[in-house]
Structure 1
C-alpha cells in the first residue's frame, strides 16, 4: 500500500524556521552580494534582543545564499548558543535551495559542523543533516509522482518504486539514486530501455526487479552484475536479442528468473549456467522446445522448471538426467507425448511432475515407473484411465495423485492398489463407480479422498469399507443413497464427510450415525427428512452440520436439541422457521443456527 512519509522535523528546525519560513520572497529577490562586513554584522545580530533586528539578519543571510555559508559555518561553533541555533537553522534552510551549488555548499558546511568538537553545534548540525535526508527523499518522491511513477512505503521506509506505462522520465533513472535502501523496482510496461539500466548498477540494495513487457532487449542486463543482493528477476514478455543471456552474468544470488511469454533464441539458454544460484526458472507460454531444454544441462543449481503451454514433447529431458537438484517440473498444457515420457523417466530425482491437460495416456505412464522419489503427480484433464499405474510398483514416496477430470475407471482404480504411499488422491469428476476400491486393502496411508462428481454408488461405498484410516471424504454430487455406509464399521477416524447434492436418504443417515469421530457433515441438497435427524443427533462429536435446500422443518430441528457438541447449523432454503431456530438455541446456547 502506498503511504506518505510522515516524519517530524527536529524541534530546533521547527522553531528556527518559524522565523525564516516567511522569507521565500526575500530569497527570490535578486540582490548585490553583501560585503563580509555586512554579513559579519548580521551574524552578530542573530542574538539581538530586538525581534525586528534578528528577523532582518535572518532575511539578509538567507538572501545572501551561498556567499553567507562560510560565515554561518564559522559562527555555528561560537560562544553564543542563540547564534549557533539560528546559524544552523539558516544552513538547513539553504540546504533546501533550488540551485544545486547552494544546496551542496550548505550540506558540506553542516557536515563540517557535525564533525566539530563543539557538542551542542555538532548535535544540531547532525539533526539538520538527518532532516535534509528525509526532505530530499520527500522531494524525490514527489518528482517521481509528477513523472508518472509511484513510491510505496513499508513502516515509513521506502520499499518499492513503480515506473510503469505512465512514466515520463524516459531512460533517466538517476533520480532513483536519491532513494537509498529500496529493494523492489517495477519497470513493467514502461518506456525504459537498456540504456536506462545503467543507472541501476550503484543501487546495491535492489533484490527484486520486474522488467516485464518493457522496451528492454538485453544489453542493459550487463549493468546488473554489481547487484549482489538481487535474487528475483522478471523478464516476462520481453523481445530479447540473441545475446541477451550473455549479458546476464554476475548476480550470484539470483534464484528466480521469469521468462514467461518472452521471445529469445532458445539455443542461448545455456548461458544461464553461469548463474550459480539459479533455482527457479519459468518459461511458461514461450516457444521453447526440447532443443531449448537440452541447453539447460549446465544449470546445475536448478530446482524447479515451469514449461506451461510450450511445444515441449519431453524427449529433451534426457539431457537433464544429471541435474540432481531438479525435482519439480510443470508441463501443464504442453505438447507432451507418451514417447516424450521416456526422457522424463530418466530424471531419477524428480519428486513433483505436473502433466495436466496434456496428451499423455496410460502408455506414457509406464515410462515413469522407475521414478522412486516421486511424491506428487498431476494428470488432471488427461485421457489416462489409470491402468498404466500397474507398472508403478516401486514408488513408496508417492503421496498425491491428481486425476481430476480424467478417464479414470474402476479398472484403473484396481491398478492403483500398488501405490501404497498415497495419502490424498484427487479423483474428482471421473467415471469411477468405486468398486475398484476393493483392491485397496494395503493403502494404509490414505487419509483424504476427493470423489466429487464421480459415479460412486452404494456398491462403491461398500468396496471402500477397508479404507479404515480415512479422515476426510468428499462425495458431493455422487449417485449414492448412503446404504453402503452400513459396511463402514471401522471408520473410527472419519471427521469430515461431504454428501452435498447426493441421493442420501434417512436410511443412509442411520448408517452414518455410527461414525463416532465425525465433526463436519454436509447434507445440503439431499433427500433427508425430519425423521433422519434423530440419527444425526446421536453423533457425539458433531460440530458443523449443513442442511440447506432439504425438506427439514422445525420438527426435525427439534431432534438436534440433544446434540450437545453442535456448534453450527445451516438451514437455508428449508421450511425451518425463526421460532424453530430459537428453540434450538434455547436448548443449545452454544450453537449458531442460521438460515
Structure 2
C-alpha cells in the first residue's frame, strides 16, 4: 500500500497529468490514509466516490477537505463520525452528497447548514432524528432529499417547508404520519414522494391535494381506503403506487 501511494505521489509531483483528474471511484479497496493524503493536490476534482474502504475515515476527511472544487461526493457505506462531517462542511462547491448507510447520528449534523449549494442529499439509513432536520432548512437549493429509514417524524417536517425547489422526497420507512404532511403542502415543485411503510392515512392524502407538480406518489395500501382514493383523481399524479405485506404493489394511473 505504501509503495502504491508513493507511485501516486510521484505522478502528481512529476507527471503533472493527474492534476486534471476530475473523477475517481475507490470501492472495496485496501487504500489507507497514507494514499488518500496524496489527493490533496488534485484541486480540479468534480467527483469522488469512496465506498467500503479499509481506512480510518476521520483522517481521510482531513485530506479530502482540501478539494475545494469537488461537486460530487459519494461515501455510501463508509463509517462517518461527527468529526468527518466537520471536515466535509468546508466543501462549499458540493452539489451531490451521498451519506447513505454511514451509521452516523444527530451529533455533527449542524455542519450540513454550511453546504448551501447542495442539490442532492442522501441521508438514508442513518440514525438521525427530527432534531437534525433543523440544519437542512437553509439548504434552499435542494432538489432531492432522501431520509429513508431515518428516525424522522411529523415534527421534523416543519423544517422542510421552506425547501421550495425540492422535487424528490424519500420518507419511506420513517415515523411520518398524516399530521405532518401539511408542512409539505406548500412545496409546489414536488414531483415524487415516497411514503411507503409510514403512518400516512386517508387524511394525509387530502393535505397533498394541492401539489400540482406531483407525478409519483408511493403509499402503503394498508393505511389507505377505497373512499379516499378519489382524492387522487383530483391530483395531476402521473402514477401512484401502493404496497402491502400481502403481495406485490399495484399501480393506479
Taking the aligned partners of 1:341 and 1:316, their CA distance within structure 2 comes to: 12
Distance 1:294 1:393, change over 3 A: farther
Taking the aligned partners of 1:422 and 1:482, their CA distance within structure 2 comes to: 29
1:383 matched to which residue of 2? 127
Deviation at 1:295, TM superposition (A): 3.6
Correspondences of 1:534-573 after superposition (within 5 Å): none
Correspondences of 1:65-80 after superposition (within 5 Å): none
Which residue of 145, 158, 176 maps to 1:432? 176
Taking the aligned partners of 2:201 and 2:32, their CA distance within structure 1 comes to: 44
Partner of 1:475, secondary structure, is: strand
1:243 matched to which residue of 2? 3
Say whether 1:498 aligns with 2:227.
no
1:276 matched to which residue of 2? 19
Correspondences of 1:6-155 after superposition (within 5 Å): none
The answer on whether the counterparts of 1:447 and 1:471 sit within 8 Å (CA) in structure 2 is: yes
Deviation at 1:344, TM superposition (A): 0.7
Partner of 1:325, secondary structure, is: coil
For normalisation by structure 2, the TM-score amounts to 0.82
Partner of 1:329, secondary structure, is: strand
Q: Return 5+ residue gaps in structure 1 as ranges.
A: 1-239, 252-268, 504-520, 524-543, 545-595
Q: Return 5+ residue gaps in structure 2 as ranges.
A: none
The answer on whether the counterparts of 2:219 and 2:242 sit within 8 Å (CA) in structure 1 is: yes
2:215 matched to which residue of 1? 471
Q: Deviations over 1:24-72 (max 9, x none)?
A: xxxxxxxxxxxxxxxxxxxxxxxxxxxxxxxxxxxxxxxxxxxxxxxxx
The answer on whether the counterparts of 1:316 and 1:343 sit within 8 Å (CA) in structure 2 is: no
2:97 matched to which residue of 1? 353
Deviation at 1:292, TM superposition (A): 5.0
Distance 1:276 1:477, change over 3 A: same
Distance 1:335 1:502, change over 3 A: closer
Aligned length: 249
Deviation at 1:488, TM superposition (A): 6.0
1:305 matched to which residue of 2? 48
Taking the aligned partners of 1:278 and 1:245, their CA distance within structure 2 comes to: 16
2:148 matched to which residue of 1? 404
Distance 1:380 1:473, change over 3 A: same
1:340 matched to which residue of 2? 84
Taking the aligned partners of 1:271 and 1:409, their CA distance within structure 2 comes to: 54
Q: Which structure ranks higher in relative contact order (CA pairs < 8 Å, sequence separation ≥ 6)?
A: 2
Taking the aligned partners of 1:272 and 1:302, their CA distance within structure 2 comes to: 17
The answer on whether the counterparts of 1:455 and 1:478 sit within 8 Å (CA) in structure 2 is: no
Q: Deviations over 1:183-226 (max 9, x none)?
A: xxxxxxxxxxxxxxxxxxxxxxxxxxxxxxxxxxxxxxxxxxxx
Distance 1:464 1:363, change over 3 A: farther
Deviation at 1:468, TM superposition (A): 3.2
Taking the aligned partners of 1:483 and 1:386, their CA distance within structure 2 comes to: 32
The answer on whether the counterparts of 1:290 and 1:317 sit within 8 Å (CA) in structure 2 is: no
Q: Give RMSD over aligned pairs.
A: 3.2
Say whether 1:522 aligns with 2:221.
no
For normalisation by structure 1, the TM-score amounts to 0.38
Deviation at 1:343, TM superposition (A): 0.8
2:39 matched to which residue of 1? 296
Distance 1:271 1:291, change over 3 A: farther
Partner of 2:48, secondary structure, is: strand
The answer on whether the counterparts of 2:185 and 2:207 sit within 8 Å (CA) in structure 1 is: no
Taking the aligned partners of 1:249 and 1:275, their CA distance within structure 2 comes to: 10
Taking the aligned partners of 1:357 and 1:440, their CA distance within structure 2 comes to: 25
Partner of 2:20, secondary structure, is: coil
Taking the aligned partners of 1:390 and 1:427, their CA distance within structure 2 comes to: 16
The answer on whether the counterparts of 2:137 and 2:160 sit within 8 Å (CA) in structure 1 is: no
Which residue of 460, 464, 471 maps to 2:204? 460
The answer on whether the counterparts of 2:103 and 2:125 sit within 8 Å (CA) in structure 1 is: no
The answer on whether the counterparts of 2:115 and 2:139 sit within 8 Å (CA) in structure 1 is: yes
The answer on whether the counterparts of 2:52 and 2:77 sit within 8 Å (CA) in structure 1 is: yes
Taking the aligned partners of 2:159 and 2:151, their CA distance within structure 1 comes to: 14
Distance 1:313 1:462, change over 3 A: farther
